[in-house]
Amino acid sequence: MAKVTFRFEEGEPVVTYATEGERLLEVAQKSNVPIDAPCSGEGMFRKDKKMVKAWEEHGPEFFSNLQRNIILQAARMLKPGGLMLYSTCTFDPGENERIIEHLRDSVREYRK
Protein backbone atom coordinates (compact mmCIF):
# COMPACT_ATOMS: atom_id res chain seq x y z
CA MET A 1 0.00 0.00 0.00
CA ALA A 2 1.30 3.46 -0.90
CA LYS A 3 0.52 6.81 0.67
CA VAL A 4 -0.74 9.33 -1.92
CA THR A 5 -1.03 13.07 -1.30
CA PHE A 6 -2.80 15.36 -3.78
CA ARG A 7 -4.68 18.63 -3.89
CA PHE A 8 -7.93 19.64 -5.65
CA GLU A 9 -7.09 23.00 -7.28
CA GLU A 10 -6.28 25.41 -4.42
CA GLY A 11 -7.71 23.25 -1.65
CA GLU A 12 -6.02 21.62 1.29
CA PRO A 13 -3.86 18.56 0.63
CA VAL A 14 -5.68 15.24 0.76
CA VAL A 15 -3.89 12.15 1.98
CA THR A 16 -5.16 8.73 0.98
CA TYR A 17 -3.75 5.29 0.30
CA ALA A 18 -3.56 3.25 -2.89
CA THR A 19 -3.10 -0.45 -3.28
CA GLU A 20 -1.09 -1.99 -6.09
CA GLY A 21 -3.01 -1.84 -9.35
CA GLU A 22 -5.22 1.14 -8.46
CA ARG A 23 -5.06 4.11 -10.77
CA LEU A 24 -4.40 7.52 -9.22
CA LEU A 25 -7.66 8.95 -10.60
CA GLU A 26 -9.63 6.16 -8.92
CA VAL A 27 -7.90 6.92 -5.63
CA ALA A 28 -8.63 10.66 -5.95
CA GLN A 29 -12.25 10.03 -6.82
CA LYS A 30 -12.74 7.92 -3.72
CA SER A 31 -11.47 10.74 -1.52
CA ASN A 32 -13.69 13.61 -2.64
CA VAL A 33 -16.38 13.61 -5.30
CA PRO A 34 -17.21 16.81 -7.17
CA ILE A 35 -20.42 16.66 -9.24
CA ASP A 36 -21.31 19.26 -11.85
CA ALA A 37 -24.55 17.54 -12.74
CA PRO A 38 -26.21 17.81 -16.14
CA CYS A 39 -29.29 19.95 -15.66
CA SER A 40 -32.13 21.76 -17.41
CA GLY A 41 -29.97 24.90 -17.43
CA GLU A 42 -32.46 27.47 -16.18
CA GLY A 43 -29.54 29.52 -14.87
CA MET A 44 -28.18 29.80 -18.41
CA PHE A 45 -31.32 31.06 -20.18
CA ARG A 46 -30.10 34.66 -20.51
CA LYS A 47 -26.63 33.61 -21.65
CA ASP A 48 -27.54 30.93 -24.16
CA LYS A 49 -30.89 30.85 -25.97
CA LYS A 50 -30.25 27.21 -26.99
CA MET A 51 -30.73 26.28 -23.34
CA VAL A 52 -34.36 27.45 -23.53
CA LYS A 53 -34.97 25.11 -26.47
CA ALA A 54 -33.28 22.21 -24.65
CA TRP A 55 -35.43 22.91 -21.58
CA GLU A 56 -38.59 22.91 -23.71
CA GLU A 57 -37.58 19.59 -25.32
CA HIS A 58 -36.45 17.75 -22.19
CA GLY A 59 -37.69 19.67 -19.15
CA PRO A 60 -36.39 19.29 -15.60
CA GLU A 61 -37.86 15.81 -15.11
CA PHE A 62 -35.47 14.32 -17.69
CA PHE A 63 -32.46 15.77 -15.88
CA SER A 64 -33.63 15.04 -12.35
CA ASN A 65 -33.80 11.33 -13.26
CA LEU A 66 -30.17 11.48 -14.41
CA GLN A 67 -29.16 13.41 -11.32
CA ARG A 68 -30.71 10.90 -8.92
CA ASN A 69 -28.65 8.13 -10.51
CA ILE A 70 -25.47 10.21 -10.58
CA ILE A 71 -25.64 11.22 -6.91
CA LEU A 72 -26.22 7.62 -5.76
CA GLN A 73 -23.26 6.39 -7.78
CA ALA A 74 -21.10 9.24 -6.48
CA ALA A 75 -22.04 8.34 -2.91
CA ARG A 76 -20.65 4.83 -3.52
CA MET A 77 -17.35 6.33 -4.68
CA LEU A 78 -16.94 8.56 -1.63
CA LYS A 79 -14.60 7.40 1.11
CA PRO A 80 -15.76 7.69 4.72
CA GLY A 81 -15.19 11.28 5.77
CA GLY A 82 -14.77 12.44 2.17
CA LEU A 83 -16.60 15.44 0.76
CA MET A 84 -19.17 15.54 -2.01
CA LEU A 85 -19.85 18.79 -3.85
CA TYR A 86 -23.10 18.82 -5.84
CA SER A 87 -23.64 21.64 -8.32
CA THR A 88 -26.07 22.53 -11.10
CA CYS A 89 -26.76 25.69 -13.13
CA THR A 90 -30.50 25.61 -12.49
CA PHE A 91 -32.88 27.05 -9.91
CA ASP A 92 -35.34 24.14 -9.95
CA PRO A 93 -35.68 22.58 -6.48
CA GLY A 94 -36.43 19.27 -8.23
CA GLU A 95 -32.86 19.31 -9.54
CA ASN A 96 -31.23 20.56 -6.36
CA GLU A 97 -32.92 20.16 -2.98
CA ARG A 98 -34.99 17.12 -4.09
CA ILE A 99 -31.82 15.38 -5.34
CA ILE A 100 -30.16 15.81 -1.95
CA GLU A 101 -33.35 14.54 -0.27
CA HIS A 102 -33.26 11.52 -2.61
CA LEU A 103 -29.70 10.78 -1.47
CA ARG A 104 -30.67 11.07 2.19
CA ASP A 105 -33.74 8.88 1.69
CA SER A 106 -31.85 6.24 -0.30
CA VAL A 107 -28.56 5.88 1.59
CA ARG A 108 -28.71 5.22 5.32
CA GLU A 109 -25.38 6.98 6.06
CA TYR A 110 -26.83 10.30 4.81
CA ARG A 111 -30.02 10.28 6.85
CA LYS A 112 -30.42 12.82 9.63
Q: Which residues pair with 84 in a beta bridge?
A: 33
- Count of residues making up the chain: 112
Q: Is 89 a catalytic residue?
A: yes
From the candidates 44, 72, 75, 89, which is the catalytic residue? 89
Burial class (CB in 10 A: 0-12, 13-18, 19+), 71: buried
Burial class (CB in 10 A: 0-12, 13-18, 19+), 107: middle
- Catalytic residue numbers read 89
